[in-house]
Amino acid sequence: MLTSYLVSNAIILPATNWLGQLFGRKRFLISCILLFTFASALCGIAGSLGFLIMARVLQGAAGGALQPISQAVLMESFPPEKRGMAMAVFTMGIVVAPILGPTIGGWLTYNYSWRWVFYINLPIGILAVILIHAFLEDPPYLKRVSAANIDYLGFGFLSLWLASLQIMLDKGQELDWFSSKMIVWCAVLSTVGFVGFIVRELLTRFPLVDLRILKNRNFAVGSLLILLVGALLYGTTAILPLFLQNLLNYTALAAGLAMTPRGIGAFLATIVVGRIAGHISNRALIIVSCLLFGYACFELGNINLQVAPGNLLWPIILSGVGAASIFVPLTTSAMGTLSREQMGNAAGIFNLMRNIGGSIGIAMITTLVTRHAQASQAALVWHMSKFNFNFQQQLAHIQSALANNTGNWAATKKSLAVLYGILQQQSALLSYVYGFRFCVLVCLVCAALALLFKKVAKPTGPVAVH
């Protein structure tokens, strides 16, 4: 269900600008929202898994265009000195929604039905269509393309690349990665699709995605950074609830509520960063934000099984502040040196890189946690030896405690099972610690890459808006 949405969503993302030029941006955006709302209704009434997956494919295809068009409209409509505030408001949705979504979805599912997770989109979609029809217009410089110039071959390579990559990332750990023939074939097909797409888009006269925009240094650096930031954001969002549920025995709802302070920190950070973005260097903001996010991951890397909820509060809040603070200066730096005509194409690529980063981050962090738990267990099991005095003393203590209720023979077996359970817990704990500390290294890499940005010059004349 998740993979079907992500595949169709990823394929449409980079093609958004071209489709907007073909149908008209306003008409295309309204059509996508209507289709997304209709697909949400189909998901809600689904009576079988096959029907639900089909509806999710439609929902993903329609949803893929929403963020790039919204971002392009904001970047075009505001002069450079006000883009920081505009992107701050936009970032509230990007950062806060994925954090609050699982909590709200869990509450709706627990109190009503999973179908209401989809039905809640209906009034929001209708309201969005009304507002867009009333206030949004196509910019006068928007180029229109003919349907006769559709790059079918490029679209085919794009679909092959992203579909194979997404399936590989989603199923890799479950199928033991390259020991599975399916994963090997997905990797081969994804590589062929990627190379074919790059070559095709660089050679054709009417490319589906204009990759020449990556010659712009700021945009190229920004695309790489958003890939890593997406991996960090989605990876940490995935790993922390797993730790809370698997090791601290939180319920799904309790784990979601524990993540809520991250959304609060992100919300407050976007307000502050939006106001100071035009007065402080974007590079400095990105570096400070990356270091702050890294510090939060470092603190989460000091967790243990006796950790109290209050000890997790500030690291979770700081991670939300750091994540939200990165997006605003990163987006304005990446697109600040582009012309308005390039914004639509750039927004599609930029959002695609963030989504791919998210998929890579989740796949990497779950693989790291699983594999490191196995390695830690192999390293710790040697302590469970008859030659280890501490182990023998603990084993005798547990046997004595159990013998009164189960008898000596059963107590011997159960005491070993109790200690093996502790071994598994400690191995899993070490793997989560390793995962968080790995995120710290990625944060340091992001901070270093931010130094490659060129300063975005302030405009000297008036900027047209639409």
- Is residue 362 included in any domain, yes or no? yes
What pTM was computed for the model? 0.78
Contact of 271 with 86, CB cutoff 8 Å: no
Q: Per the structure block, which two tokens stand in for 9? A: 């969503």
Residues 52 and 93 in one domain: no
Whether 69 is in a domain gets the answer no
Closest by CA to 317, choosing from 379, 258, 264, is: 264
- What single-letter amino acid sits at 263? G
- Are residues 301 and 231 located together in one domain of the fold? yes
pLDDT digits (tens, 9 = 90+) for 151-178: 788 888 888 988 888 888 888 888 888 8
Specify if 464 maps to a domain: no
Query: Does the pLDDT at position 148 exceed 80?
Result: no
Q: With contact defined as beta carbons under 8 Å apart, do 183 and 168 qualify?
A: yes
Is residue 255 located within the same domain as residue 371? yes
Q: Are residues 38 and 140 in the same domain?
A: yes
Domain count, the chain: 4
Place of tokens 């270091």: 291
Q: Give me the pLDDT at residue 141, please.
A: 66
Q: Are residues 226 and 366 in the same domain?
A: yes
Return the pLDDT at 302: 85
CA dist., res. 343 & res. 389, Å (int): 67
Query: Strand, helix or coil at 395?
Result: helix
Residue for token pair 């609060």: 264
Where a domain ends, among 132, 149, 166? 149
In a domain, 465, yes or no: no
Do both 266 and 409 map to the same domain?
no
Which domain, by its residues, includes 386?
381-425
Same domain, 101 and 240: yes
- Same-domain status, 272 and 343: yes
Distance CA 32, CA 48 (A): 25
The tokens for 284 are 């400095």
Whether 463 is in a domain gets the answer: no
209: Cα separation from own chain's centroid:
22
**C-alpha–C-alpha distance, residues 190 and 196, integer Å:** 10
Asked, for residue 71, whether it belongs to a domain, the answer is no
pLDDT one-digit tens code per residue, 375-412:
888 888 887 777 777 877 787 777 777 777 776 667 77
pLDDT in tens, 221-256: 999 999 999 888 888 888 888 888 888 888 777 777
How far apart CA 252 and CA 103 sit, in angstroms, is: 9
Find tokens 């738990």 and name the residue. Answer: 373
pLDDT at 154: 84
